Structure 1
Amino acid sequence: MTGNLQSNEPKHKKDLTRRKVVVAGAGAAVAVGAGATLASGAFADDATDSTASASSSSSAEACYKLTSETTEGPYYIDADKLRRDITEDKEGIPLVLDLKVIDAETCKPIANAAVDIWHCDALGIYSGYESMSTGGGGTAPTDAPSGAPSDGATPTGEPPSGAPSGGTGGSIHQEPTDDERYLRGTWKTDKHGKVTFRTIFPGWYQGRCVHIHTKVHVNGEWTDAGYEGGNTCHTGQFFFSEESVLASAEVEPYSTSTTTRTTLTEDTIYDQSGTTGGLLKLKYSKKNIAKGVVGSITMGVDPDAENDNTTM
């Protein structure tokens, strides 16, 4: 994994053993609190949390489970951009993604881990794979692969369980088709295991609910060239509440999409387990989500594991 320093799908996911460990305080089992705001006044008194959180006054012990592993998907590019702001010039609702990485056995923060995130734009297009994406207005790109339908009906998510995994819809890695790298980035966790990314709220494409891909790499070395060596201990995805997605769909450019949307409960990757399955804790204005969103979650990982999940 290298780069120039600057300052991503059915229920065929691996059935990992989720080790239960004790975490001090019930709130720790939900998600790390949002540590950054998008803009002054972004979250007024009418702000809402889209996931339930435990009372901060509770002294009860909570049980934290190993964060769910999911497929990598076909559109991962290995650490081309080491940066925290991955927005570039893409339009969309501002999103601050506030992440924390902990050892699922000891609950201690993992410092200097390399965290990758990547996701589609507001109209369902992935950088590096624009000609293979079928998001947006429902029309496939003019340079779509030979034999691909021209009506935008080709799903770009994971195929249903038992379906062939080849082609643009499978979990087998695809080589990039262009040099664009928007909405992709890698950065390191601080001594508290925290890392913050600035991006936009993702859109959707046929066959998948709204999501962000992530990987966590540990035991490597940060050099002038980037992050090298180590092992990939976690491959997962972050998900968004249906309430927040419906709100985003009222805002341009999301509102211009004619692509059929898959809901959170219909998605074949999200395991319906809430925070353990990657469901983000979100904060945003109920009256105006366009002001911005803060999403946060704690990832409990096994630093000794090898979870590339490139062919699940």
Structure 2
Amino acid sequence: MTRRKVVVAGGVAVAAVGVGGAAAVNAFAGEATAGTTTTASGAETCYTLTSETTEGPYYIDADKIRQDITEDQEGIPLTLTLKVIDAETCKPVRNAAVDVWHCSALGVYSGYEAMSNGGGGGGPSGGPTDVPTGTPTGEPPSGPPPGGGGGHAEPTDDKRYLRGTWKTDRHGHVTFRTVFPGWYQGRCVHIHVKVHVDGTWTDAGYEGGHTCHTGQLFFSEKSVLASAEVAPYSTSTVTRTTLDEDTIYPGNGHEGGLLYLAYDKRHIARGVHGRLTMGVAPDETHDSTDTGPSPSATSS
């Protein structure tokens, strides 16, 4: 078991999330009820395990203990509520440490600004300055796509916006306040998530335990298309990868991390609410790149 410790900036946790101006209407997806399923061995489980996906190269341990991870980032307000349950018993997983991290509205990851290929801001220094035309005919760029597969990359700066850790309550719920993510080359719009259990919460943060879930959360095409009409998303110059084109998304809907979303379709800039129930196996360890076929939760 590896030791994990998250340090609280200044020793004080940030205040709880507020709803802000986000409007919670016109949900795209209906409710789904978690039912009993039968495994190949004949054993009954009350919920389907949430799909494990790759951690990606831009994870930073020792993140900030906070619910509002927005900092000074521009974008559509997003309130993200996750419920973590034991897939076998359906009981909430209490006091788990949940990490979330994602790129900015223009596709840039904090801690890795020099390596990100976000759009709208001219791109990272040292990149090409000309604008390609026509259909590419050469080989795709080598190396892992940002936020996708591949090994871990060491941070290039000390910024930590759009990253945070918070603990689940007695009902297994955790809520973050952030902004709707943007997109970057090779990936659809997504949020990374980890769930840590069996550790100890101290004045300094979260220590010990193990990671029982590593996954990604995804957004419907309708919501992304709507966000693309709003600044600063509308200024992005990066060709967007759709949900169906993405190589990481398992393609199994809410079971694969597709969020339930609610917002005013005519005024998405006012805010979006996203939610999902994640069924995990608390006794197992899924801490990095294991992407085995464990279809995810029918989430509510």
For 1:110 and 1:166, the matched residues in 2 are separated by: 33
Q: Deviations over 1:137-156 (max 9, x none)?
A: 274311x5xxx655699xxx
Determine if the alignment matches structure 1 residue 236 to structure 2 residue 215. yes
Match in the other structure for 2:30: 52
In the alignment, is the contact (CA less than 8 A) between 1:139 and 1:152 conserved in 2? no
Match in the other structure for 2:200: 221
| RMSD, aligned CA | 2.5
Match in the other structure for 1:31: none
In the alignment, is the contact (CA less than 8 A) between 1:95 and 1:292 conserved in 2? yes
Match in the other structure for 2:87: 104
For 2:200 and 2:68, the matched residues in 1 are separated by: 22
Whichever residue aligns with residue 7 of structure 2, its letter is: G
* Among candidates 58, 62, 68, match of residue 75 of structure 1: 58
Show the 5 A alignment for 1:229-308.
229-308=208-287
Determine if the alignment matches structure 1 residue 6 to structure 2 residue 13. yes
Residue 42 of structure 1 and its aligned partner are, at CA, apart by 2.1
Q: Percent identity?
A: 66
Secondary structure of 1:220's partner?
strand
Q: Deviations over 1:85-136 (max 9, x none)?
A: 0000100000000011000110100000000000000000000000000112
Determine if the alignment matches structure 1 residue 194 to structure 2 residue 161. no
Whichever residue aligns with residue 211 of structure 1, its letter is: H
For 1:308 and 1:40, the matched residues in 2 are separated by: 35
- TM-score, structure 2 normalization: 0.82
Match in the other structure for 1:42: 23
For 1:193 and 1:151, the matched residues in 2 are separated by: 49
For 2:242 and 2:48, the matched residues in 1 are separated by: 25
Q: Flag structure 1 segments of 5+ consecutive residues without an equivalent.
A: 8-35, 154-159
Whichever residue aligns with residue 42 of structure 1, its letter is: A
Whichever residue aligns with residue 70 of structure 1, its letter is: T
* Among candidates 172, 175, 178, match of residue 151 of structure 2: 172
Q: Flag structure 2 segments of 5+ consecutive residues without an equivalent.
A: 38-46, 133-138, 292-300
Q: 1:167 to 1:240 in 2, by over 3 A?
A: closer
Q: Deviations over 1:14-73 (max 9, x none)?
A: xxxxxxxxxxxxxxxxxxxxxx87346823xxx21122324x8xxx94543100000000
Q: 1:304 to 1:138 in 2, by over 3 A?
A: same
Match in the other structure for 2:110: 127
Secondary structure of 2:99's partner?
strand
